Amino acid sequence: MKKLFHPVTITLFVVTFIFLLPSILPSKAVKILTDEALRQRAISTNMLPTPKTYNELLKVVDNPQNLMTAKKIALGKELFNEKLMSKDKDIACASCHLLDKGGDDNLPTAIGFHGRANPFHLNSPTVLNAALAKAEFWNARAKDVEEQAGGPIQASFEMNMKPHEVVERLNAVSAYVSKFQEVFGATISFENVRKAIGAYERILLTHGAYDEFLEGDNSALSAKAKRGMTLFMTKGCKGCHTGMSVGGQSVQYFPLRRYLSDYMGMIFEPDLRIKESPFPFPNEGGFLGKDERLKFRVPILRNISRTAPYFHNGAVKELKEVVRIMSKYQLGNEFTPKQIDEVVAFLKTLDGEIVEYEIK
């Protein structure tokens, strides 16, 4: 290891000082917003409450290329829970998307056919409110829930089925043959399997305290949660986590910032070597996002407290640590422990129960 010379020491001192400036300088006090001002700030940026009636739901999530009907949704629900569509007939969509546990499987990485783990160590994003997103999967490779539904069925490490095998399996069940004919006016096809599942997933929206506050109930959020929401709205979080789904609307770089402490693993040898992970946590699986450029679909924050562990490879278990990481590496202004607690209090208000729509 080469000896560090004086100029290098000076440079490191200057760089360290620059990075420490935010913690040295006094931080601005968070602006206090009235309940109505806080509510209007959210609504004005399209952070709207989820619909409570089926007619309002249709205005928000219906797909012109796959119009929702009661029978199509019912068929999609059956297929979502159908294990015939997996190679060993032991896995369904519902196996990794547990609707009573946040819409995911609460595992660091998804486990599928013969106990195989996702080769990139990716965890399962929530299916709840996924229809509100503008793209699906961590790298945003699917445009909607209909397209997404076909992915896990075909993946060798998930359900491990080919489209023609799915069709053959379902054609062997006379009830499915009749239902596909009734719903689509056609024989069973893999495309219509995806469409039926997509139609069902479009009704999986949740509604909770956050929505009640947006609808005018000031008592729905505690004072602590309102302070957290104010931080969320004024410190930059809503720049990416926006829309009715509070996320899922864009693809963003992560991390946006690096710090000197991230490079303490540098080794001064003939060639400078840097520690392996580009993230502020181990990059088990080696996934680098869309086009391998550290670009990720922004996660949906609704029901976030129920969908641990976090980040694409489930490397972080605690929501508090997620908030700390995001404030530091995305916002460039690491929250204090008190601010982190307040933001977590707000995030917990994004939990909600699946709306039981009266489907017509």
Amino acid at 143: K
pLDDT at residue 30 greater than cutoff 70 = no
**Are 123 and 99 within 8 A, CB to CB?**
no
Task: Determine whether domain 54-201 maps to CATH 3.30.390.30.
Answer: no
What pLDDT sits at residue 12? 46
Kindly report, residue by residue over 60-79, the tens digit of the pLDDT.
Answer: 999 999 999 999 999 999 99
What is the model's pTM?
0.89
Kindly report, residue by residue over 298-349, the tens digit of the pLDDT.
Answer: 999 999 999 999 999 999 999 999 999 999 999 999 999 999 999 999 999 9
Q: Where are the domains of the chain?
A: 6-17+25-50+206-354, 54-201
Which residues are known catalytic residues?
Answer: 158
pLDDT at residue 22 greater than cutoff 70 = no
Residue carrying structure tokens 């977590």: 344
CATH number, domain 6-17+25-50+206-354: 1.10.760.10
Worst-scoring range by mean pLDDT, 186-195, 215-224, 254-263? 254-263
Instruction: Report the C-alpha gap between 53 and 60 in whole angstroms.
Output: 11
* More confident site: 5 or 37: 37
Instruction: Report the C-alpha gap between 67 and 196 in whole angstroms.
Output: 10
Kindly report, residue by residue over 157-183, the tens digit of the pLDDT.
Answer: 999 999 999 999 999 999 999 999 999
Query: Which residues make beta-bridge pairs with 273?
Result: 267
Count of helix runs (H) and strand runs (E) in the chain: 13, 6
**Are 135 and 146 within 8 A, CB to CB?**
no
What percent of the chain stands above pLDDT 90?
A: 85
Instruction: Report the C-alpha gap between 358 and 54 in whole angstroms.
Output: 6
Three-state SS letters, 93-112: HHHHCCHHHCCCCCCCCCEC
pLDDT tier, 21 (very low <50, low <70, confident <90, very high otherwise): very low
DSSP category for residue 209: H
- Label the pairing between strands 206-208 and 352-354: antiparallel
Neighbours of 220 (CB within 10 A): 18
- 113, exposed or middle or buried, with CB in 10 Å at 0-12, 13-18, 19+? middle
6-17+25-50+206-354 and 54-201 have identical folds: yes
**Token code pair at residue 206:** 């949740």
What pLDDT sits at residue 357? 98
Kindly report, residue by residue over 115-134, the tens digit of the pLDDT.
Answer: 999 999 999 999 999 999 99
